[in-house]
Chains A and B, each alone.
Chain A
Amino acid sequence: MNAGPADAVAVEHLVVRYDRTLALDDISLELHFGEALGIVGPNGSGKSTLLKSIAGLLAPASGSLCVLGTQPRKVAPGAIAYVPQIEAADWSFPANVWDVVAMARFAHLRFWQHFGEADRRAVEDALRSVNMYDLRERRISQLSGGQQQRVFVARAIAQKPRLLLLDEPTTGVDAETEEALRRVVRSLVADGLPVLMTTHDLERVSDWFDRLLVLDRRVLAIGTPGEVVASGAYASIREHTHTHGHARTA
């Protein structure tokens, strides 16, 4: 490992357990600034667990995590933006699209500080970047799955984070929405943001990511999409995902 302080994320020998179940076993990786790292693997391979560990939502059993130069839970407020799978949210909550995206700014605001012009601008820009500005007054319970995904990505962007974690943001979205999301993420990466993203969609990995990690509780392969495809680990996961992956969804 040549993980240094210059990396946005450095994971070394990470082990995560749920009770007695081993969810992640001896994971090591580093994520650089201005890089999009994709995580692929079958259902139950620990993709979401890895993102949650880096977001500071899960405590590791052993190993070390260095996120933006410190431990995940000591990262400055607002620095990490996490986009969960849309099923995780309560879409019956009384809020419209603007309200949800505006919440991203709360991590930056002390209670006496007003939600100011800069905050409004950040929310507006984020909504425009995912083509949701025209629907800003729509109640979130009225959104389609693709629109929900875009709202969550917009919320993460409005936070203006220093690290972006996305959990399967392309699941259930149409080709047009996926392309819109891809352009947004690639432009953030071009501006230097480090991005870690899980995906089920194995078709366009080389369009999305600079590097790819094949995960099945352990790191099976990591490298450029081309290297990973050549290693053969990708092919086995690809077959696994297509033949068994969906059947294993609980």
Chain B
Amino acid sequence: MNALLVPFQYAFMQRAFIAAVTVGLLCSIMGTYVVLRKLSFIGDGIAHASFAGIVIAYIRGMDYYVGAAIVAVGTALGIGFVHRRGNISLDTTIGVLFTAMFALGVFLMSRLRSYAVDLQSFLFGDILSVSVKDVFFIAGLGAIIAITVIILFRALLYTTFDPVVAQASGLPVATIEYVLLVMLALTIIVALQSVGIILVAALLVTPAAAAYQLTSRFAPMMTLAAALGVTSTVGGLYLSYFLQSSSGATIVLLATILFFIAMALKHLRLVRTA
């Protein structure tokens, strides 16, 4: 029994668990909207683009989070604008522009002679390196996002299901969509340190997609997604301690296992969703 509690005696592990709970909750709550609005490619695009912000912030001696957040929010608003204009395919825009932003980040990083901080940890995540300052940052942003979801809960639900009719009935659909994209960008920034740029899209999509298999209404789907998300992040962190594996990868693999269990339960009709 004591062996199982060993991880909690280290302060860095305690901070990592706080980060894991927050990231698991936020990603799966926002992921519910991502899955139902089919925004997973957008999440991936924002995450990749933010890498350029991290590197530029490093070169300029700024806080990484600030650089990443500026680029991520700017990217999200740009995507929203292209999406609403509808002239160019959104897939194409993300495929061209945001992979280019990622390439810019890699390019700038490769020209640096030496870097004191391992920028690669942003690619694959390193939840064990979460500092006290990071914990406050993650918790603060998390609180802002949670309060916004509560305030906009009904509007987000209606515009996710039927944006056209919602707009006809007088809801400010464009504004709500921009707010959602900014929240998505901030969620990705919060999650970057834990799971990294490459894997953050999985944490957005997988718990919500698993919950979708097993539920038939929106609020239960979001609740179950949150439970699966926290199980993945906390369980993945815990497993990675004993397996001495990458925390980000372990978290995502655990989420994937939960997803396949959910699919099997639905397929075997062990859970009624009708």
Contacts and interface: CB of A to CB of B under 8 A. Distances in A.
Interface string A80-108: 11111000111001111001100110110
B167 A56 contact: yes
A100 B217 CA distance: 10
Contacts of B171: 77, 106-107
A190 B158 CA distance: 30
B217 A96 contact: yes
B192 to A, nearest CB: 29
Given A96-B216, A103-B157, A111 B151 contact: yes
Contacts of A159: 169
Main secondary structure of the interface of B (DSSP, over half): helix
A142 B217 CA distance: 13
Contact of B169 (A81, A88, A94): A81
Interface string B211-236: 01001111011000000000000000
Given A56-B167, A94-B212, A107-B169, A99 B162 contact: no
11 contacts: A55-B168, A56-B168, A80-B169, A80-B170, A81-B168, A84-B164, A90-B162, A96-B217, A100-B161, A109-B154, A139-B273
A29 interface: no
A82 B170 contact: no
A205 interface: no
Interface string B155-191: 1011011101111111100000000000000000000
A123 interface: no
A82 B165 contact: yes
Contacts of B150: 111
Contact of B217 (A88, A95, A106): A95
Given A55-B168, A80-B170, A84-B162, 17 more contacts: A56-B167, A57-B168, A76-B170, A77-B169, A78-B169, A79-B170, A82-B165, A93-B36, A94-B36, A94-B216, A95-B217, A103-B158, A103-B161, A106-B154, A111-B151, A111-B152, A161-B169
Interface residues of B, number: 29
A54 to B, nearest CB: 9
A110 to B, nearest CB: 10
Interface string A126-159: 0000000000001100100000000000010001
A89 B216 contact: no
A99 B164 CA distance: 17
Most chain B CB inside 10 Å of its own CB: which residue of A83, A93, A159: A93
Contacts, number: 88
A184 interface: no
Nearest to A156: B165
Given A57-B164, A90-B161, A94-B212, A82 B169 contact: yes
A119 B158 CA distance: 16
B40 to A, nearest CB: 16
Contacts of A88: 162, 164
Interface residues of A, number: 35
A90 B150 CA distance: 24
Contacts of A89: 161-162
A82 B168 contact: yes
B167 A57 contact: yes
Contacts of B168: 55-57, 80-82, 165
Contacts of A55: 168
B260 interface: no
A155 B154 CA distance: 15
Contacts of A103: 154, 157-158, 161-162, 166
B8 interface: no
B217 A82 contact: no
A64 B161 CA distance: 31
A111 B154 contact: yes
Interface string A171-185: 000000000000000
A215 B215 CA distance: 45
Most chain A CB inside 10 Å of its own CB: which residue of B36, B150, B170, B215: B170
B274 interface: yes
Contacts of A139: 216, 273-274
Interface string A160-202: 0100010000000000000000000000000000000000000
